[in-house]
Amino acid sequence: MTTQIRRPGLAMESPFIWRARRPGSRHRLICFPHAGGGASAFADWVNALPADIEVVAIQLPGRQSRILEDPATEVEPLVQEVTEALRPLLTGSFSFFGHSCGALLAYEVAQLLYAEAGPRPEHLFMSAQPSPAAAALRPKIHSLSEEEFRAEVMRLGGFNEEVALDEDAMDELIPTVLADFALWEQHAMTIGPLIDSPITVMVGEADVRAPLDTIEGWGDHTSAGFDTQIYPGGHFYLFDPGTDTQVFEFLTETLLAA
């Protein structure tokens, strides 16, 4: 019987950065969580991905270790702050993975790095997020009534059953989720020069927030390769048992191919 060696998990290195140090790793995968999500959304990735891949997760204000802080209300300062926090880690081989709203933040950080002629991510993985042009046409849900907004968020999933049934927990979580939706739904995305990093869009085939006909537009934002990976499931396909294994296998193959 083979015994899996569990490696130390994500540890907070700064307000924005949680990291699972891998001194001998070949690639660093920097992960940007979904609306209302924290860095711990990627805790299981540390042991699911091989030791050659070092996992870093972004922790935004208003959640988990930063629960006492107000969520961001402007995108540009947030992008600047995240980029500054990441600079010491933008060495060697690295890529960005962003899920849902996190994909938009990852893209904006990449745009800023390109504008500054800074280090380039080798790959951008945009998960469960329509292209900027398609996203601008979606109905805005942050302006719904509290009851309607909660119902819409619950329809997307992403909360485990215990949390979803705990009214007090949901009362604490929903305002941060709402703040993130308001942040990005009111923001005009930066459309700069084409990025010369490949973009892969990863999406669940039944995702109502990122239907398959809204994702191809990401190809207009790169001068390098573009492809899509479609998985069983909905908006949070990547956390579904079985599908998560497919995601890990794809990321490992793609990141370590070179």
Is position 71 within any domain?
Answer: yes
Q: Is 65 a catalytic residue?
A: no
Is position 152 within any domain?
Answer: yes
| pTM exceeds 0.85, yes or no | yes
Residue 128 near residue 102, CB atoms below 8 Å: no
Residue 258 pLDDT grade (very low, low, confident, very high; cuts 50, 70, 90): low
What share of the chain in percent tops pLDDT 70?
93
Is position 247 within any domain?
Answer: yes
For residues 142-166, average pLDDT: 75
Is position 238 within any domain?
Answer: yes
Chain segment 171-201, per-residue pLDDT in tens: 778 889 889 999 999 988 877 789 999 999 9
CATH of the domain at 251: 3.40.50.1820
Edge to edge, the sheet with strand 11-12 lists: 11-12, 17-19, 53-58, 27-32, 94-99, 124-127, 199-204, 226-231
Among the listed residues 100, 127, 131, 197, the single catalytic one is 100
Is position 80 within any domain?
Answer: yes
Is position 4 within any domain?
Answer: no
Is position 221 within any domain?
Answer: yes
What share of the chain in percent tops pLDDT 90?
70
Between 222 and 162, whose confidence is greater?
222
Chain segment 71-111, per-residue pLDDT in tens: 999 999 999 999 999 999 999 999 999 999 999 999 999 99
Total domain count, the chain: 1
Smallest Cα–Cα separation from 243: which of 254, 228, 232?
Answer: 232
Chain segment 247-257, per-residue pLDDT in tens: 999 999 999 98
Domain that holds residue 127: 11-256
Is position 154 within any domain?
Answer: yes
Q: What is the pLDDT of residue 3?
A: 47
